[in-house]
């Protein structure tokens, strides 16, 4: 019984550690804190706008993301879906914008590598 409780506590703590990058990224985007968003991104990542896909440095990615969000007049974000791999090493979230002009949808994918979780893919659709 004691071992079961200890294992349960460990799993609860471990599951809280995985997937933090996408959660922190989303919270940063929702508050327009692009410095914090950039801090949880991998140094290079897949960055897609509609069907145009690139492998960019995080500084380039965050600049493009900020421009697109500004150009679309995004007022707020809503997380409409999220999921996790069976082994808990990768997560994704889908956000939709509430805008005055055009809708914008973002898929954020993060994965565990070398003991830390980083956003490794951002897909935008409009």
Q: What are phi and psi of 87, to 5 degrees?
A: -85, 0
Q: What are phi and psi of 20, to 5 degrees?
A: -70, -30
Kindly report the pTM of this predicted structure: 0.81
User: Does 13 score more than 80 pLDDT?
Assistant: no
pLDDT number for residue 3? 42
Instruction: Give the 3-state secondary structure of 30-75.
Output: HCCCHHHHHHCEEEEEEEEECCEEEEEEHHHHHHHHHHHHHHCCEE
What is the arithmetic mean of pLDDT over 63-88? 92
pLDDT in tens, 23-32: 999 999 999 9
User: Does 79 score more than 60 pLDDT?
Assistant: yes
User: Does 90 score more than 60 pLDDT?
Assistant: yes
Cα 126–Cα 24–Cα 88 angle in degrees, nearest 5: 95
Element (H, E) at 13: helix 2-17
Q: Which domains does the chain show, CATH number per domain? A: 2-125 (3.10.450.50)
Of all residues in the chain, what percent carry a pLDDT higher than 70? 83
What is the arithmetic mean of pLDDT over 66-70? 94
Are the C-beta atoms of residues 72 and 102 closer than 8 Å to each other? Answer: yes
pLDDT number for residue 91? 96
pLDDT number for residue 98? 76
CA–CA distances in Å: residue 37 to residues 9, 10, 33, 83, 100: 29, 28, 6, 20, 23
């Amino acid at each position: 019984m004691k071992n079961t409780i200890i294992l349960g506590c460990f799993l609860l703590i471990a599951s809280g550690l995985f997937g933090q990058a996408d959660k922190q990224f989303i919270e940063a985007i929702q508050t327009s804190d692009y410095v914090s968003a950039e801090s949880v991104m991998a140094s290079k990542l897949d960055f897609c706008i509609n069907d145009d896909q690139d492998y960019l440095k995080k500084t380039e990615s965050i600049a493009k993301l900020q421009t697109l969000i500004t150009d679309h007049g995004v007022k707020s974000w809503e997380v409409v879906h999220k999921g996790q791999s069976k082994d808990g090493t990768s997560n994704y979230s889908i956000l939709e914008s509430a805008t005055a002009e055009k809708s914008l949808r973002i898929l954020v994918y993060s994965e565990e590598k070398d003991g830390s979780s980083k956003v490794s893919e951002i897909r935008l659709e409009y």
